[in-house]
Amino acid sequence: MYRIFLTALSISLIALASGCVSRPGETGAAIVHDLGLPATPGSAMSPLPLRRVEVIGAPALSGLAMQYRYAEDQTTRRLSYADNRWSATPAQLVESQLARMLSGAAGVGRCKLTVKLDEFVQVFARDGSSIGYAAGSMVLGGERADEVLAQKAFEIRNAATSADPSAGALALRGATERIAKDAATWLAAQDAKRCTPG
């Protein structure tokens, strides 16, 4: 009787263990998102010739996690989708789009545009709607690393069409496009002579 009990117990433990082990095909891979096809070069052309466009992400945005928050409840919690992630860090994705959109000004300039990305997240309201939210600052730098010619903060909210990660990614793409257009408008108000070689 004791041997029968041990045999049954062993079979149960083996079955339990096998249920905890992931087999090929049983666990779906994470869904990978980016900001869509590369933006059209010069679609938000910078009026100033820039030597570089750089995006620096906050420490909370250093990984590949697709993050979301709640606007009214648990407002201090930063959450991540379990089965969805970015193909690169938010800063890398945004930099690629901005560099293409702002490109096109004649010549290689002396100035550098740095975008400091503090937030890049999908935010949900109580009614289930959501937005792509991006916030940070833009800094126009001169030839020296410590030379700041101008700076401004930005905060962008772009509505998502539905409450899911894919819609969040599209909303954040739209937010990125608005960052580029806002940057182009802001750069147009700066002194071009300070960025033009000569």
The per-residue pLDDT for 28 is: 65
Higher pLDDT, residue 151 or 13: 151
Q: What confidence tens digit (pLDDT) does each residue in 156-168 have?
A: 999 999 999 999 9
Domain boundaries, given as residue ranges, for the chain = 32-194
The residue among 112, 114, 113, 58 whose CA lies nearest residue 90 is 58
Neighbours of 160 (CB within 10 A): 22
The per-residue pLDDT for 105 is: 60
Instruction: Please answer whether residues 18 and 12 qualify as being in contact, where contact means their C-beta atoms are separated by less than 8 angstroms.
Output: no
C-alpha to C-alpha distance for 108 and 46, rounded to whole angstroms: 12
User: Which superfamily is assigned to 32-194 in CATH?
Assistant: ABC-type transport auxiliary lipoprotein component (3.40.50.10610)
Q: What angle do helix axes 90-102 and 165-188 make, rounded to 10 degrees?
A: 40
In the numeric block, which tokens belong to residue 161? Answer: 């069409």
C-alpha to C-alpha distance for 132 and 175, rounded to whole angstroms: 7
User: 28-63 b/e with 16+ CB inside 10 Å = b?
Assistant: eeeeebebeeebeeebbebbbbbeebbbebeeebee
pLDDT exceeds cutoff 90 at 192? no
pLDDT exceeds cutoff 90 at 198? no
Q: What confidence tens digit (pLDDT) does each residue in 37-92 have?
A: 999 999 999 988 899 999 999 999 999 999 999 999 888 999 999 999 999 999 99
Environment class of residue 118 by beta-carbon count within 10 Å: exposed (0-12), middle (13-18) or buried (19+)? middle
The per-residue pLDDT for 69 is: 97
Q: What is the 3-state secondary structure (H, E, C) of 182-193?
A: HHHHHHHCCCHH
- The pLDDT-based confidence of 5 (bands split at 50, 70, 90) is very low
- The pLDDT-based confidence of 10 (bands split at 50, 70, 90) is very low
Give mean pLDDT, residues 123-139: 97
pLDDT exceeds cutoff 90 at 137? yes
Q: What confidence tens digit (pLDDT) does each residue in 103-125 have?
A: 976 557 889 999 999 999 999 99
Higher pLDDT, residue 14 or 151: 151
What type of residue is 170? L
C-alpha to C-alpha distance for 188 and 30, rounded to whole angstroms: 42
